[in-house]
Amino acid sequence: MTELLPLPDLRRADRGLPWLGQVFEHQRDPLPLYRRHWERYGPVAPTYLLGNRAVMLLGPDACGAALQNGDKAFANEPAWSQLVGPFFHRGLMLIDFDEHRAHRRIMQDAFTRPRLEGYVRKLHPAIEQGLASWAGGPDFRAYWQLKQLTLDIAADLFMGGADDTSPAEMARVNRAFIACVQAAAGIMRADVPFTRWGRAFRGRRTLEAFLRRYLPEKRATPADDIFSVLCHIETDAGDRFSDDDVINHMIFLMMAAHDTSTITTSTMLQYLGQHPEWQDRCRAESMALGGAPDLAELESLSSLDLVMRESLRLRAPVPVLVRYTVRDTVVQGVHVPARTLCLLGIQFTHLMEQYWTDPTAFDPERFSPDRREDRSHRFAWAPFGGGVHKCIGLHFAGLEIKSILHRLLRTYRWSVDPGYVAPLDHHSLPFPKDGQPIALTRLGHRH
C-alpha cells in the first residue's frame, strides 16, 4: 500500500497578503506562480486565495483526477460562484452532480449535429455582415473588432436576430451583458469598487427582463436560434427547461461562448500573422471551398484545425479551472481535505516539457496524425476541460472560429511582427491589453 501524504505546508514566502493570498500574482500572470509551486511542492501544491485554503493541481494526472471526479469530491458551484459572482447563477457550469446531469441531458439536444448544421447556416450571413465594416490598415486592433463581431453574431445566433428590437435596445443589452462579464471576471470580487458590482447587478436584471419579455414568443414558435431551441428541447422522458432555467442558461451560454471564442480567434490571427507559411497554407484550403461552407466542409479545413488546436494550447482561454472539495479526497497520493478550493493548472500543463516538444514554440504539426503529441496523456491538452463538465459548446466554438477565419483568409492578408509578444491582461480570461495589433490588407490591395 502506498503511503498517504499530507498536503505540504505553505511556506511563509508563498502566503501572499492577508485574506487575499496570492491574488495579485494570479492577476499579474499565473504561469510563473504555478511553475514556482510545481518546483517547490510538486503536483498538489498548497496556496491561499480569497480567504480559502487552496491547492493547485498541476500536470495532467492531478488535473485529470479532479476532472474525472471518481469519488464525487469535487464540486463546481462553490468554486465558480466565488469567482464569477452571482451574475451567472445556475448556469450549467455552476450546478453539480445529479441536477447537473439532468440539465446537461436536456441541453445536449441543443448541440446535436443537425442543430449545429442549422447554426452554421446562420453564422455565415452574421459574419459577412460584421466583417463588412472592417476597413483594415497597418495598425488594426483585431481583438476589439473581434469582440464586437462575436457579440453581433451572438445577437443573431443566440437571440434569433434583433429584428423586432431597436438598435438602442440591443446596445443596452450588450452593455448589460458586458457589465456582467466584467464584474464576474475579476477574481478580486471583494475589492471591486461598488459601482462595478452595482453595474453588473443592474446588467443581470436588464438581461433577465429582456429575455423574459421575449420568452412567450420563443415558446410559441420553434426556430433555429439557441434561445428558441432552449425553449423547445426535451429529453425522451419529456424533461424540459422551466422559464427560469431558460433564462439562467441563456445568460451563462452567452458568457461562455463570447470571450473564449474571441480570445481563440485573436490568438490565431496573431500566430497566422507571424507565420505567413501557415497563413498561406490555410488560405489555400479556404480558397478551395466556397464562401459559406457547410459543417462538413468546415471540418475539412485541416490546417486551420491544427492552428486552432495549437493556439488553444499556447493560450488556453480558460487557463485555470476551479473546483471545491465537498469531502476529503486523495490526489496523486496527497490528502486534500474537504472545503479546499482547487485550482487546476490547465495552461501550466499545456506547456510542460514532459508532454510537449519545445513547448513554447508555435508548431501546429504537433497535432498532426503522425505526431499527436496531445495523446501523450489524456489530459495533456484540456482547453475545454474534461469529465462531466467538459465544454458542451466545443464543436460549436470550433465552427464559429473557423467560419470567421475562413472568411478572413479569403478576403484579407495580415502580418504581425515575428518578435511580438501579446501583453496579456490576466484579471479575467487572458486577453491582449493592446487590442492585438495586426497589419491588415484586403487581398489584391497594397498599403
CB 414 within 8 A of CB 269: yes
User: Least distance (Å) from ligand HEM to the CB of residue 400?
Assistant: 6
* Interface characters, 28-67, with ligand HEM (x: CB under 6 A): ----------------------------------------
76 sits near ligand HEM (criterion: CB under 6 A): yes
Contact set for ligand HEM, span 100-129 (CB under 6 A): 104
395 sits near ligand HEM (criterion: CB under 6 A): no
Gap between the Cα atoms of 272 and 251, Å rounded: 32
The residue among 277, 326, 279 whose CA lies nearest residue 304 is 279
Gap between the Cα atoms of 319 and 328, Å rounded: 25
Q: Give how far the C-alpha of residue 142 lies from the chain's centroid of Cα atoms, to the nearest Å.
A: 18
Gap between the Cα atoms of 202 and 214, Å rounded: 19
CB 383 within 8 A of CB 346: yes
| Residue linked to cell 463570447 | 258
392 sits near ligand HEM (criterion: CB under 6 A): yes
Which residue lies nearer to ligand HEM by CB, 140 or 396?
A: 396
Gap between the Cα atoms of 390 and 76, Å rounded: 12
CB 91 within 8 A of CB 251: yes
Residue nearest to ligand HEM (CB): 393
Tell me which of 23, 45, 75, 93 binds ligand HEM, using CB under 6 A.
93
CB 335 within 8 A of CB 389: no
Q: How many CA atoms lie within 13 A of 337 on its CB side?
A: 8
User: Least distance (Å) from ligand HEM to the CB of residue 104?
Assistant: 5
User: Least distance (Å) from ligand HEM to the CB of residue 219?
Assistant: 21
Which residue lies nearer to ligand HEM by CB, 68 or 332?
A: 68
Contact set for ligand HEM, span 216-275 (CB under 6 A): 253, 256-257, 260-261, 264
Tell me which of 130, 203, 393, 432 binds ligand HEM, using CB under 6 A.
393
User: Least distance (Å) from ligand HEM to the CB of residue 394?
Assistant: 6
Contact set for ligand HEM, span 360-389 (CB under 6 A): 383-385, 389
The residue among 203, 212, 205, 169 whose CA lies nearest residue 184 is 203
Beta carbons within 8 Å of 237's beta carbon, 6+ residues apart: none
149 sits near ligand HEM (criterion: CB under 6 A): no
Output phi, psi for 440, to 5 deg: -115, 125
92 sits near ligand HEM (criterion: CB under 6 A): yes
The residue among 315, 243, 292, 303 whose CA lies nearest residue 404 is 292
Gap between the Cα atoms of 103 and 388, Å rounded: 12
User: Least distance (Å) from ligand HEM to the CB of residue 278?
Assistant: 19
Which residue lies nearer to ligand HEM by CB, 10 or 404?
A: 404
Which residue lies nearer to ligand HEM by CB, 104 or 202?
A: 104
CB 401 within 8 A of CB 395: no
307 sits near ligand HEM (criterion: CB under 6 A): no
User: Least distance (Å) from ligand HEM to the CB of residue 259?
Assistant: 9
Which residue lies nearer to ligand HEM by CB, 76 or 279?
A: 76
Tell me which of 227, 396, 412, 414 binds ligand HEM, using CB under 6 A.
396
CB 224 within 8 A of CB 122: yes
Contact set for ligand HEM, span 1-30 (CB under 6 A): none
Which stretch in 11-19, 180-188, 284-292, 314-322 sits in contact with ligand HEM by CB under 6 A? 314-322
Tell me which of 44, 127, 192, 321 binds ligand HEM, using CB under 6 A.
321
397 sits near ligand HEM (criterion: CB under 6 A): yes
424 sits near ligand HEM (criterion: CB under 6 A): no
CB 127 within 8 A of CB 404: yes
CB 401 within 8 A of CB 264: yes
| Residue linked to cell 446531469 | 101
- Applying CB under 6 A, the residues found at the interface with ligand HEM are 76, 92-93, 104, 253, 256-257, 260-261, 264, 317-318, 321, 383-385, 389, 391-393, 396-397
